[in-house]
Structure 1
Amino acid sequence: MKHLLKYSGIIVLFLYACGGKENKPNQTVNNMPEVKNNGKTIVFPTDSSAVFFETESIGNSILNNQITAPAKVSATVMKSQEGASQNIILFENPDLAASYTQLIQHLANVNQIQNKNIKQKQIEVDRAKDLLAHGAATGKDLLEAQTALSVEQTNLANEKAALIEFETDLKAGGFEPEALKRAKAGTSFIICDIPENQISRIKNGDNCTVQFTAFPNEKFSGKIDAIADMIDQSTRMVKLRISLNNSSGKFKAGMFAAVSFGISEGDNISIDKNSLVTVQAKNYVFVKKGSKEFERTEVTIGNQIGDRIVVYNGLTNGDAIAVKGVMQLKGLSFGY
């Protein structure tokens, strides 16, 4: 009996050992994506392995950008209490105030010389010629009359040269002399600087919103009157002049403000900011070409507006762009 039990145990162990052995094939599953075309094409082995890389379908849309620039009340226009023909303009910048005062004075001088002095001297020259022809004057009389006329013409040229100098100073400060002379009492002028690359999207007559440090809970509507004719060579900024109704007298020269412009970027394709990768100053996105394939695509981009980036070239409507896992795709594509 003892021998029977002994051999039975040996048989059970043998059968267990034999049953535990399986003939498993020597097979290795390759889960690594295939990178082709110098990193341009990435192909995943299965559909499920590409599911992690979420995409969005892109298309044209109109995006509106908001530009905000610091500003200052540079001048206010007030009616003269003494009945002067010109309104009083209070400038924040004393140099501009001096330039405007000089401009007005030289304009008056030009008017006096041109419309009175020269006309009078020309009459005297004509009379001296007539008298000389009838023997009632000498050549010296005519020469003196012509010299007096020449002096007035020289004075006129000097006054006009001075006008150009002060006109240039005002334009450099963002002001047009003629606009200042025509300005109505109760008008405030605001000057702000915007980057050179924004000029093409702003034009005269555009509306804007102004918020003052002194009135933080109020917003005021203004209008762009002019864009300066010169760009600051060191900052690459250009001045804008904005007019604002100040009939209440709330706005004082020198007040700080912020000006906001709503600018349309046009009808363009845009992508999520997380879709874009930049390598060696070139911009790329990854376009899904099939259930398992992504293609690296170079794009030409514009401004970023919120979380969207305008794309000018490289994509078409309906393209599916990777928005998740983009850094992993970048590593596979560029080998790091």
Structure 2
Amino acid sequence: MRHFIKYAWASAFLLLWSCKKEENTLQTASVAKPTVSADGISISFADTIGINGFLYYNVAKKSIRTDLVAPGRVVAEVVHSSDAMGQNLVLFDNPDLTYNYTEMLQHLININKQKGIIAQKKVILQQKKLQLARVKDLADNQAATGQDLTNAQIEVTNAETEVAQEVTALENEKTSLLEHETRLKLAGFDPKSLVNAKQNATWVICELPENQFQKVTQGQHCFIQFPAFNDKKFEGKIEEVGEVVDNLTRLVKLRVAVINPSSILKAGMFGSVHFGVAEGDFITVPREALVVVQGKQYVFVKTKERTFVRREVMAGQPVENATVIFAGLQPNDQVVTQGAMQLKGLSFGY
């Protein structure tokens, strides 16, 4: 009997130890966390346990009729400044643009000033040349010495050098002006329009994919809606279609002038620019595949069996239960629908 009790206790201990080990093994397996890398862009799972409930959608183009829409941002507005000597003040949403615009104005002032200096130097040079001619005439008549003639020639040479130096300074100012004008143009602005803009002028910059921008034209009217004013539609007009396609995003900038009554629109506001109906083959994704963070829209694309990549997309109007995607996806991409919110939390650290 004593041996039986001893064996019973031993068996119970082994059974308890075995269960505890199995429990620890299960706990260890359950805490295997996904690997998040590239600043949240890539998410990899160690096994399929965490993605068993995921559903996917295979991206394809469909022939649809939709409103051509692009996300836009108020990038500049013109306000009156009593301290700017009659020059209106342009408020940008980007400090770099403010710097380039301010530098452009300064170089314009410097150029005008330099032109005045050159004009004065040329007058002086002309006077020195006349003086040299008089000294030569006096020397020919032995009324001036050779030293007088030499001094007059030196003064002409010095005056010519000063003119050349000021001309070089003018060209340097023009080169610097061109640099800042180019940066403003690449940002979607017309430098001359900025300088001559009237008070309350407001601009929105938006971008369209290179396969869509040809559907809009300069001078075309549009309307803009802003989350801050859900019940309002602001009239706009395309002032310029950009001349450069971004090498990375393949997007073209459009500058839209907006009627801004009472200056209620402020630089930095986000909105949606509506250009009217467009027909053609478009990529669409289910609405639940889209996640929005700080005004930007993303989807998660399955690239390997247990790896997902976050992609920023340009979304258009909803069409039935889907949303048109103008940029960011290609046919045959596999996007996550059910499970997108879980990936959003992992990607952005929520």
1:75-117 CA distance string (max 9 Å, x none): 0101122362321000000000000000000011111112x11
In structure 2, give the amino acid aligned to 1:87.
N
TM-score (norm 2): 0.56
Counterparts of 1:64 and 1:118 in 2: how far apart (Å)? 62
Question: How many angstroms does 1:64 deviate by?
Answer: 6.4
Q: Which residue of 2 aligns with 1:225?
A: 239
Counterparts of 2:277 and 2:221 in 1: how far apart (Å)? 10
Counterparts of 2:66 and 2:173 in 1: how far apart (Å)? 47
Counterparts of 1:74 and 1:258 in 2: how far apart (Å)? 14
1:239 pairs with 2:240: no
1:172 pairs with 2:186: yes
Q: Which residue of 2 aligns with 1:68?
A: 69
Confirm or deny: 8 A CA contact 1:117 1:152 kept in the other structure: yes
1:175-196 CA distance string (max 9 Å, x none): 1101111211111110011111
Counterparts of 1:169 and 1:82 in 2: how far apart (Å)? 26
SS in 2 for 1:138: helix
Counterparts of 1:66 and 1:306 in 2: how far apart (Å)? 9
1:113-147 CA distance string (max 9 Å, x none): 12x11111111111111100001761110011111
1:89 pairs with 2:103: no
Confirm or deny: 8 A CA contact 1:118 1:153 kept in the other structure: yes
1:143 pairs with 2:157: yes
Q: Which residue of 2 aligns with 1:16?
A: none
Q: Superposed, which structure 2 residues align to 1:190-229 within 5 Å?
A: 190-229=204-243
Gaps of 5+ in 1: 1-62, 271-304, 308-336
Confirm or deny: 8 A CA contact 1:107 1:163 kept in the other structure: yes
1:209-237 CA distance string (max 9 Å, x none): 10011112221111111111211100100
Counterparts of 2:212 and 2:74 in 1: how far apart (Å)? 22
Confirm or deny: 8 A CA contact 1:171 1:229 kept in the other structure: no
Confirm or deny: 8 A CA contact 1:77 1:88 kept in the other structure: yes
Counterparts of 1:221 and 1:64 in 2: how far apart (Å)? 23
Confirm or deny: 8 A CA contact 2:70 2:206 kept in the other structure: yes
Confirm or deny: 8 A CA contact 2:68 2:278 kept in the other structure: no
Question: How many angstroms does 1:208 deviate by?
Answer: 0.7
Q: Which moved more, 1:96-105 or 1:137-146?
A: 137-146
Change (3 A) 1:264 1:69: closer
SS in 2 for 1:203: coil
Q: Which residue of 2 aligns with 1:56?
A: none
The percent identity for this pair of structures is 40
Larger Rg: 1
Q: Which residue of 1 aligns with 2:125?
A: 125
SS in 2 for 1:86: coil
**Count of residues in correspondence between the two structures:** 208
In structure 1, give the amino acid aligned to 2:208.
I
In structure 2, give the amino acid aligned to 1:131.
Q
SS in 1 for 2:68: strand
Q: Which residue of 1 aligns with 2:104?
A: 103
Q: Superposed, which structure 2 residues align to 1:1-336 within 5 Å?
A: 65-82=66-83, 84-114=85-115, 116-135=116-135, 138-263=152-277
1:134-186 CA distance string (max 9 Å, x none): 01761110011111101110000000000110011101111110111121111
Counterparts of 2:248 and 2:278 in 1: how far apart (Å)? 28
Confirm or deny: 8 A CA contact 1:113 1:152 kept in the other structure: yes
In structure 2, give the amino acid aligned to 1:98.
Y
In structure 2, give the amino acid aligned to 1:99.
N
Counterparts of 1:166 and 1:250 in 2: how far apart (Å)? 29
Change (3 A) 1:263 1:157: farther
Question: How many angstroms does 1:264 deviate by?
Answer: 5.4
Q: C-alpha root-mean-square deviation of aligned residues, in Å? A: 2.3
Confirm or deny: 8 A CA contact 2:234 2:260 kept in the other structure: no
Counterparts of 1:208 and 1:182 in 2: how far apart (Å)? 23
SS in 2 for 1:163: helix
Counterparts of 2:275 and 2:213 in 1: how far apart (Å)? 12
Confirm or deny: 8 A CA contact 2:66 2:277 kept in the other structure: yes
